[in-house]
Structure 1
Amino acid sequence: MSSIISVSQLSKTYASGLHALKRIDLEIRRGEIFALLGPNGAGKTTLIGTICGIVRPTEGRVLVDGHDIGTDFRAARSLIGLVPQELTTDAFETVWATVSFSRGLFGKPPAPAHIERVLKDLSLWEKKDSKIMTLSGGMKRRVLIAKALSHEPQVLFLDEPTAGVDVSLRRDMWALVRRLRETGVTIILTTHYIEEAEEMADRVGVISKGEIILVEDKTELMRKLGKKQLTLQLAQPLDSVPPGLEAYRLELAKGGTELTYTYDAQSERTGVTTLLQQLNGAGIVPTDLHTTQSSLEDIFVSLVKESHA
């Protein structure tokens, strides 16, 4: 799959001496949903701002569908829609006027049918004549998305799009993002809600201290770095883990009636079967068992801890 955004050796150092970005290389595939994760201050917003031409890099290059954001800004920027974190829009304008004006800023001719479709997709049609100042926080965030989509971009950046909104609105936005991707729009999402990335992303990138520490397909990331646990309920309590089973690093809990085995994808196929065979040979018969799997949040936390170590 071809790349629609190509970032090469991108760095940003502020006058204060802060190294916000450190020689970042990143390829965003055309038509994917890419989740950029990282703790506060990791460089997520700086990276997005630099790709969008809002922040001037210290060094490096950004191409948007082959257009250099530095030397061919107008062509590159016209392909990008940006939904910022801050709710910044003219409080005294109507929804229709502010979204239509955003389209005009990109030199696009009026397209009432397109604006109508965007507002209806975002459940804003009934508010089209309302002033921004009268809207709820969630509605204002929808307006930001409508403004970003007004000029029909090929790439949409969503910087913490569901911060501070309720669960219902968050799920509405997830559905909208999926529909946009189906039309060919590439989505880059930064979020603090790991469930958002887990629910929607095709690939995940993790940024920490201005450096990309990992980029991976989400399913492959879960397979390689995710941990599973097999918990066995025992009919007869044990005083200790039976001899010969030390290699499994089993944990005994709940008065000796619960035995837990933690394993990864590499040991899954043979480890569980062999363990159950050995337990049976030792006369230990479980009355029940269940498995759990680590979430993307667990993986993210461990990756960031390792990068800070």
Structure 2
Amino acid sequence: MKENELRIFCPATIANVSCGFDVLGAALDSVGDEMVVRKVPEKGIKITKLVGQDLPMETNQNVAGVAGLALLAESGSNEGFEIEIYKKIKAGSGIGSSAASSTGAVWAINDLLGRPFSTLELVKFAMEGERLASGVAHADNVAPALFGGFTLVRSYEPLDVIPIHSPSELYATVIHPQIEVRTSDSRKILKTHINLADGIKQWGNLGGLVAGLYTEDYDLIGRSLVDHIVEPIRSILIPGFDKIKSVSKEAGALGSGISGSGPSIFAFSKGEATAQKVGEAMKQVYQKIGIDYDVHVSKINSQGIKILQ
């Protein structure tokens, strides 16, 4: 690796994790983008290469550029940076495409500046990229991408992110049907008020899931992966959703749900063998429906963004 240049892996993420809408997320290990970020003499940020997706390269229209500019504005730095983005996470897939670009930019720029900002501060800058992408500066994708593992956004004002223990044998299976559901569109159909009884059930599940992760109680994790508020509404946008959930459970998954705003569907399993079996069951559903898909089986990524040699 050249001096003043970093090549990094920016992980895909599962946000919401059923019962944790806008506050819970997890980083994946086997799927993500790659980025190259280098210092240059000219002040500011320039996107010089974008491979794999038809996305804007203008700095103020690209999530990586917007997030990086937020960091530079806070730092008062006169440094300049070029960014190359190699997109392997499809936009609108529901596994944190915009978060990967936003976090990769701020993480690498911070490192090249000598790390003046904490990981929590980087979350704040990366959220500006999410604001551009979806209209809402949410942190449930960017936080796990930066911290690694599972993260809980305890508060947005002030921002407070809690890293959560990841069980050693927990694997995720994610199927992405080749349709696009934009986060901004999927937010428009959500209700702005919830029933108190549903809220009580949801809070119980969120507490149970966090407890299950810390104690590595896989049965408790499975019982807690239930969304009473968002999934019943958003699932209507995803073909075959109920069937995917049922076959995943039959194949041995602990539980499943919508990844982010969809259309990807995730399932958690104990052990890689079960996660692979779940993936095969998911594939058969979309093969019968006639929808193209991608499937990813991944251990939970405890590190987050990684430097590539």
TM over 0.5: same fold? Answer: no
Higher RCO (C-alpha 8 Å, min separation 6): 2
| Larger Rg belongs to | 1
TM range (shorter): under 0.3
Q: How does the TM-score come out when normalised to structure 2?
A: 0.26
Q: How does the TM-score come out when normalised to structure 1?
A: 0.26
